[in-house]
């Protein structure tokens, strides 16, 4: 952190000012002039919270994608299909058993199994041929999309939020002050906060696992140089299978989250594939903190954009990607 400030003082200043403005916008009571200029504070806060929680969802999808890419140099364009598959599985389980948590577990296990099959049957056979793997995953995503359309139809599904998570909570953030002087607090859906907290926990756990455990050390070594790692006697194929299974499982979990937040329908697979592509391009391929930062930026940009400039919301996301590519083609937090 201090090194960044030393090396890029101007950028650091801009970042600090931006953070300060953002904090003031979130915590202060807005003066009337500002409310007239850009609308109610409640709208702004809601957009910020929606953006952050959406960023949590994007992080779940993109972290699996980036983990797989980082270790195996394998762009899995069927990642969106795994997301949708996990969502459908979660829907089926949670409606038949009534247990939301069970839906998560089964979705994780089943998508992880699909991931294992993909790695063993497809990717191991064409190791090192990036482009061919990419083509194969494109073919697979078409096949998966059609199979899921066959099995589930073109309807919209929404996973029922469990009873103990329904309803809003009051957050200690003042949106406005009534004429009587009584402050009005922000009310926000409980389930989104819980899910966001869960994705933060998963992210931290991943970071700890990668940086503090033996298997994490193996994975990091594999990211740096997998040939030497294999030469030291690590069973690299087993590590590949495990990482692929975990990354796919994360996509499955994200599918259940997405099914609860939003809805599941054909086409969502492509939407989330695109989202994770943009997130990892912005954050840096193969970097977990990069995926977190990218997911936060893209989630916020999408939500704030859709509130303040509805027609051009998607263009904002795209412009961010262009800007990052122009300034730092390898992504914001990539090492290379």
Partner 1 sequence: MSLAHDARVPARPALAQRPARTWPEINNPAAWIVAAILVIMPLIANGFFLIEIFATALILGIMALSLMFLAGYGGMVSLMQLTIAGFTAYMVAVFGVSGNTNISLGWPWWLAVPMALALATAFGTLGGALAVRTEGIYTIMITLAIGAAFYYFTNQNWAIFNGHTGINTVATPHFWGVNWRADIPFYYVVLAVAALCYFAVEYLARAPFGLALQGVRDNPRRMAALGFNVNAHRVAAYAFASFVAALAGVLQVWNYRQISPGSVSVGACIDVLIIAVVGGITRPIGPFIGALIFVLLRTFALDFLVRLGLDGNRFRLLIGLGFLAIVFWSSDGVIGLWQRWRQSHRPRSDRPAGGRGHG
Could you list the residues that contact partner 1 (CB under 8 A)? 75, 77, 128-132, 134-136, 138-140, 142-143, 145-147, 150, 270, 274, 277-278, 281, 285, 310-315, 317-318, 321-322, 325-326, 329
- Least Å distance, CB 237 to partner 1, is 20
Q: Which residue number, 277 or 293, has a Cβ lying nearer to partner 1?
A: 277
What are the residues facing 186 on neighbouring strands?
Answer: 171
- Least Å distance, CB 284 to partner 1, is 11
- Least Å distance, CB 86 to partner 1, is 20
Residues ≥6 apart with Cβ < 8 Å to 192: 49, 50, 53, 261
Q: Which residue number, 256 or 321, has a Cβ lying nearer to partner 1?
A: 321
How far apart, in whole angstroms, are the C-alpha atoms of residue 334 and residue 336? Answer: 6
- Least Å distance, CB 197 to partner 1, is 29
Q: Which residue number, 166 or 315, has a Cβ lying nearer to partner 1?
A: 315
- Least Å distance, CB 132 to partner 1, is 6
Q: Which residue number, 37 or 327, has a Cβ lying nearer to partner 1?
A: 327
- Least Å distance, CB 196 to partner 1, is 24
Q: Which residue number, 32 or 310, has a Cβ lying nearer to partner 1?
A: 310
Q: Which residue number, 23 or 147, has a Cβ lying nearer to partner 1?
A: 147
């Amino acid at each position: 952190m201090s090194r960044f400030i030393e090396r890029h003082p101007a950028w650091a200043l801009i970042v600090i000012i931006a953070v300060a403005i953002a904090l003031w916008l979130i915590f202060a009571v807005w003066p009337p002039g500002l409310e007239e200029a850009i609308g109610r504070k409640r709208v702004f806060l809601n957009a910020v919270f929606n953006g952050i929680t959406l960023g949590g969802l994007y992080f779940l999808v993109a972290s699996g994608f980036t983990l797989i890419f980082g270790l195996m140099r394998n762009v899995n364009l069927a990642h969106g299909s795994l997301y949708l598959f996990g969502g459908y599985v979660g829907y089926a389980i949670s409606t038949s058993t009534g247990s939301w948590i069970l839906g998560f577990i089964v979705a994780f296990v089943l998508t992880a199994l699909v991931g294992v099959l993909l790695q063993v049957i497809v990717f191991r056979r064409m190791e090192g041929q990036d482009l061919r793997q990419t083509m194969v995953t494109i073919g697979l995503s078409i096949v998966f999309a059609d199979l899921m359309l066959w099995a589930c139809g073109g309807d919209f599904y929404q996973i029922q939020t469990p009873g103990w998570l329904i309803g809003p909570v009051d957050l200690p953030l003042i949106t406005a002050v009534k004429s009587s002087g009584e402050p009005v607090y922000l009310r926000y859906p409980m389930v989104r906060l819980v899910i966001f907290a869960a994705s933060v926990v998963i992210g931290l756990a991943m970071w700890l696992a990668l940086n503090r455990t033996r298997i994490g050390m193996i994975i990091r070594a594999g990211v740096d140089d997998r040939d030497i790692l294999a030469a030291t006697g690590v069973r690299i194929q087993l590590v590949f299978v495990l990482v692929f299974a975990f990354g796919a499982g994360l996509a499955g979990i994200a599918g259940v989250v997405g099914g609860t937040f939003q809805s599941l329908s054909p086409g969502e697979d492509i939407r989330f594939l695109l989202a994770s592509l943009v997130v990892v391009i912005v954050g840096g391929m193969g970097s977990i903190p990069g995926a977190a930062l990218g997911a936060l930026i893209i989630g916020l940009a999408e939500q704030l954009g859709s509130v303040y400039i509805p027609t051009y919301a998607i263009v904002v996301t795209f412009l961010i990607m262009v800007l990052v590519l122009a300034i730092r083609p390898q992504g914001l937090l990539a090492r290379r």
